[in-house]
Structures are given as C-alpha cells and as structure tokens.
Amino acid sequence: MEELIALFNAIAPLSPALEEYLRDLLKPRYAGKKEILLREGDIAKHINYIEKGLVRSYYWIEEEEVCSWFMKEGDIFVSVQSFFFQSPSYETIEMIEDGIIWGISYSQLQHAYKHFPEFNYHRGVILEKYYSLSEQRHYMTRRQTAYKRYVSLLEREQYLLQRVPAKYLASYLGMTEGTFSHIRSEYAAKSRKGL
C-alpha cells in the first residue's frame, strides 16, 4: 500500500482525511498466475493497483484471442468501459504472474470523489497518463510496420520480452507468432552486424 500512497502523494499531497479513508478501505489481494480477474460479459467492480505481478487484457475476434495491453508493478489497471459505465466488459483481464493487487470499488471511488474533491485532481492526472499510453499503443499497432512495432516494443516495454509468452506479444503487436519469431531473429541479426 505504501507504494500506492506514494504514487498519489507524488501527484498531489493527500489530505490526512483522504489518506485515512484510502488506508481503511484498501486491502491487498493475492492473485495467482492465470487467475481471471475479470471475465468478458461481467461488470468490472474494481479499479486496481499492481504492487507485484503482471496483468494482461484480451478479447476475442471470432476465434482469435487479441491481447490489448499489459500492466506491471506500479501500474493502475481497469476495464475502462465496464468500470466507468458499470456495463458488461468486452475484455478479459488475467494475471500472467503471481501477484499482489490493491483495489477500490466503483462505489468507494465515487464516495471519494464526492467527499474528497481534491481526489478528482489525482483522477485527472492518472486518466491523462493512461489515455496517453492507450493512444501510443493504438498508434504503434495500427500505423507502424510489423518490424517497427517490434522495435517500438523494445524501446518502450522491453521488460515484456522476459515476462510474457511470445504468443501474447505477437497478438499484442498484431502479428502471427511466426511473424513475431521471424522479426525477432531479423532484429537480432541486424544488431549483431551493428545495423
């Protein structure tokens, strides 16, 4: 919890009353590898902070699983549409590694916004950050060549290569596993030659 409180205080100092409210309601949840945190069709009840572990989101297009994002330690994650509109989720959210997450429910968050108006500033800063990340992911996967997508992944999220199976990374980058493997080999060969 201390990392999450520090994250909020780095945005703007929490009032003592708001910090006490958050400390009273936030509890750690231990989640195992492959555990489904939200299933497609369910309503997201919590927005979460990752203390430890790695999380992914995916959805289905016909018979194909499509990874849409990954979040790691220090990140906040949510099924945006489902949580903020309390509607059925189109995505599934799953733990990739064992982890610890902290969550706040929709009603608890609304209470915080109403009774601690300063918390709306934190919301704005956090939303701007994750909206920007979403736009970057959209640009990477829709506007770049397959090779450039791989290079962008190395530049921005290299840690994923050590922590995520290749089939998930290929899906995230909008390519087949075979294409991903070929591009990874091509990049390694160019790197060895200093190109």
pTM of full prediction above 0.95 = no
Tens digits of residue pLDDT in 172-187: 999 999 999 999 998 8
In order, the DSSP letters of the chain are -HHHHHHHHHHSPPPHHHHHHHHHH--EEEE-TT-EEE-TTSBP-EEEEEEES-EEEEEEETTEEEEEEEE-TT-EE--HHHHHHT-B-SSEEEESS-EEEEEEEHHHHHHHHHH-TTHHHHHHHHHHHHHHHHHHHHHHHHHS-HHHHHHHHHHHHTHHHHHS-HHHHHHHTTS-HHHHHHHHHHHHHHHHTT-
Res 99 pLDDT > 90: yes
Res 131 pLDDT > 80: yes
Res 195 pLDDT > 70: no
Give residue 192's pLDDT band: very low, low, confident or very high (50, 70, 90).
Answer: confident
Tens digits of residue pLDDT in 106-123: 999 999 999 999 999 999
The chain-wide mean pLDDT, for the chain, equals 92
Res 141 pLDDT > 90: no
Q: How many CA atoms lie within 13 A of 110 on its CB side?
A: 9
Tens digits of residue pLDDT in 48-91: 999 999 999 999 998 889 999 999 999 999 999 999 999 999 99
